[in-house]
Amino acid sequence: MYQTKEGGRNAYQFYTGDMNERASERLTLEHDLRRALERGEMLLHYQPQIELASGRIVGLEALLRWRHPRLGLVPPERFIAIAEDSGLIVPIGEGVLHEACRQSLAWQAAGLPAITIAVNLSAVQFRRAGLEDSLRDILTATGLPPHLLELELTESVVMDQADATVAILNRLHDLGVRLSIDDFGTGYSSLAYLKRFPIEKLKVDQSFIHDVAHDADDAAIVRGIIGLAHSLGLGVIAEGVETREQLDFLREIGCEQAQGNYFSPPLPPAEIEPMLRKGGYCEEVQ
């Protein structure tokens, strides 16, 4: 069942011997994940988001990591699906939001510039009743101004039950937080709904960025997304930038922001702080 769900649902799988091994690993990770919350093993790394016109760091995306006592640093792709299926994504997600807001204020208290912190919301979090109340409580408890928090939702999440999505997004927008659509271009957006969403930014999926300097189709898609965003009055950011060629192409076609390992990999707070102390300036853009 889990193998079928992970393969995209609405399908079937025949039994194979290694399924037992994967099922056992899954049960072990779920058990360890519950203990990880109690032991404080979850931590955040941050990846800079760069304004291409100036080279300034204008945002940081908070990315979840799990410091497992036996497996070491576990990336989210190994445990997020388990967390969603088990319901653990709710307390994990609330912890991520709280810590990202707390860290942002800690940086400001240390004299560093106030910049936007972007946090991903899973489908389970987004559809859960009481999301706005939980978010309001976190903002109140940490004291972070709402406009410094950006919530990222994937295109597939916002287009599922689009009418209900509009109402939820409007309530979140009323709290004062920023909203953006992540992985844009990989789903099936309806322009009729897209113009109704109170979002501020589209995030171009990294699958289009990888060969954008050499693949005419990817280049056309990225140009189209940027043109669409600008025509709707939205900002646009490209993720997964890894080369100078990609950067030059994006800047040439009017992409405002970018993030990726070309500028910096996701880093723990202690390693992000020196970058912010330099005035938030990224030399790689020049």
On the CB side of 131, CA atoms within 13 Å amount to 23
154 by DSSP, 3-state: which? strand
* Cα–Cα separations (whole angstroms), residue 67 to 23, 73, 83, 269: 22, 5, 15, 15
pLDDT above 70: percentage of residues in the chain: 88
Q: What is the DSSP string of 92-119?
A: HHHHHHHHHHHHHHHHHHTT----EEEE
What is the band of 3 on the pLDDT scale with cuts at 50, 70, 90? Answer: low
Cβ pair 180, 152 in contact under 8 A: yes
Rounded Cα distance between 73 and 123, Å, is: 24
**C-alpha closest to that of 86 among 162, 9, 11, 28:** 28
Q: What contacts 17, CB < 8 A, 6 or more positions away?
A: none
Sign of the C-alpha dihedral computed for residues 18, 20, 21 and 22 taken in this order: positive
pLDDT score for 223: 95
Residues whose CB falls within 8 Å of the CB of residue 217, separated by 6 or more in sequence, listed in order = none
Place of tokens 């004291």: 143
Residue 9 pLDDT class (50, 70, 90 cuts):
low
For residue 22, pLDDT beyond 80: no
Res 168: pLDDT? 93
What spatial distance separates the first Cα and last Cα of the chain, rounded to whole Å?
50
Query: Percentage of the chain with pLDDT > 90?
Result: 62
Task: Tell me: pLDDT of 63 over 90.
Answer: yes
Judged against a pLDDT cut of 60, whether residue 20 lies above it is answered with no
- For the beta carbon of residue 178, count every other beta carbon within 10 angstroms: 22
Give me 130's structure tokens: 């009481």
Range of lowest pLDDT (30-39, 213-222, 251-260): 30-39
Asked if residue 142 lies in contact with residue 97, where contact means CB atoms within 8 angstroms, the answer is: no
So what's the pLDDT on residue 199?
Answer: 94
Band of the pLDDT at 188, cuts 50, 70, 90? low
Q: What is the mean pLDDT of residues 52-79?
A: 91
Confidence bin at 1 (pLDDT 50/70/90):
low
Residue 200 has pLDDT above 90, yes or no: yes
- Please indicate whether residue 230 or residue 160 has the higher confidence score (pLDDT): 230
Both tokens of residue 167? 């109402």
What does residue 187 show for φ and ψ, rounded to 5 degrees?
-110, -150
Confidence of residue 28 (pLDDT cuts 50, 70, 90): confident
Q: What is the pTM of this model?
A: 0.87
State the pLDDT confidence band at 163, using cuts at 50, 70 and 90: confident
Q: Which of 104-113, 156-165, 192-201 has the highest mean pLDDT?
A: 104-113
* pLDDT of 79: 87
Give the model's pLDDT for residue 75: 85
Token pair listed for 129:
């009743």
For 251-260, what is the mean pLDDT? 95
* Domains with residue ranges and CATH for the chain: 17-285 (3.20.20.450)
Residue the block writes with tokens 């990222």: 152
Place of tokens 């050499």: 214
Q: With 70 as the cut, is the pLDDT of residue 187 above it?
A: no
Identity of the amino acid at 59: G
Q: What is the rounded distance in angstroms from the CA atom of residue 114 to the CA atom of residue 125?
A: 26
Q: How many CB atoms lie within 10 A of CB 136?
A: 15
Q: What is the pLDDT of residue 36?
A: 85
